[in-house]
Structure 1
Amino acid sequence: MIYSKFVLSSLLILAGILHFLKPQIFIKIIPSYIPSHLTMVYVSGFIEIVCGAFLIFPQTQKLGAYLSILLFIAVFPANVEMAKNFYQTHHKYFWLTVLRLPLQIVLIWWAYQFRK
């Protein structure tokens, strides 16, 4: 279980860093009804890094778990938007975007394991 915590933490930190290195990737999947796309990309990237860092340390692990759960719920609309866009454009990787939706539930469950 301890390795699992570091895997999730690493994935969150890496994803958060990617928000800053390649923001255009994330801007494209933000639903149009959400304002300030670039700001939202940077904020969500920062929060991902914080969540990943919080999961590492026993003193902040519980907070990191709950923040990660909230993060995965908050980014769900972006994953739905990406799946919708890929479907409408007949993108060859549409099926991967559809797999991301149940993956969000798995990530929530995974983060929930570290709330103790």
Structure 2
Amino acid sequence: MSPASRSPLLLAGLLATAGAAHFAMPAAFDQLVPRSLPGTPRGWTKASGVVELALAAGLVHPATRAEAARASALFFVGVFPAHVKMAWDWRHRSTAAKAVALGRIPLQAPLVLWARSVSRQRRAA
């Protein structure tokens, strides 16, 4: 398996793991939901977990990979405010916790670029 063909599967694994975590540890994600959003934080946590699992499934299948990768890039942009909120909310925590929260913010850019690169890969014949 070439590195290019592993890339979508690695991205799918990342999204599937994150999606499952939304259901395994929902309270950790509830606190990231901006209060300005309608509904409950738990509703947003579950919805984003479902979206991540669906994106992962789409990335696994070559026929839906490009569309799922483009949607993944948009998803990574869409959850950016949650990472900013986390950094703000954690500003009084330990140095290690602050580093984790701040480190998540610039991580979004490579995730968007990774998803975009997957969307541009040619499907295997």
TM-score norm. by structure 2 comes to 0.87
Structure 2 residues without counterparts, runs of 5 or longer: 121-125
Partner amino acid, structure 2, of 1:34: L
Contact 2:12 2:57 in 1 (8 A): yes
Correspondence for 1:56: 60
Correspondence for 1:107: 111
Partner amino acid, structure 2, of 1:107: L
- Residue 21 of structure 2 corresponds to residue 18 of structure 1: yes
Q: Report the more deviating stretch, 103-112 or 24-33.
A: 24-33
Structure label with greater radius of gyration: 2
Offset at residue 53 of structure 1 (A): 0.9
Partner amino acid, structure 1, of 2:106: P
Please give the residue correspondences for 1:1-116 in structure 2 after superposition, counting only pairs within 5 Å: 1-35=4-38, 36-87=40-91, 89-92=92-95, 93-116=97-120
RMSD: 1.0
Partner amino acid, structure 2, of 1:50: A
> Per-residue displacement from partner, 1:36-88 (whole Å, max 9, x unpaired)?
2111100100000111111111100011111101110111110000000111x
Same amino acid, percent of matched pairs: 32
Secondary structure at the counterpart of residue 29 of structure 1: coil
> How far apart are the structure 2 equivalents of 1:62 and 1:8?
12
TM-score norm. by structure 1 comes to 0.94
> How far apart are the structure 2 equivalents of 1:10 and 1:90?
30
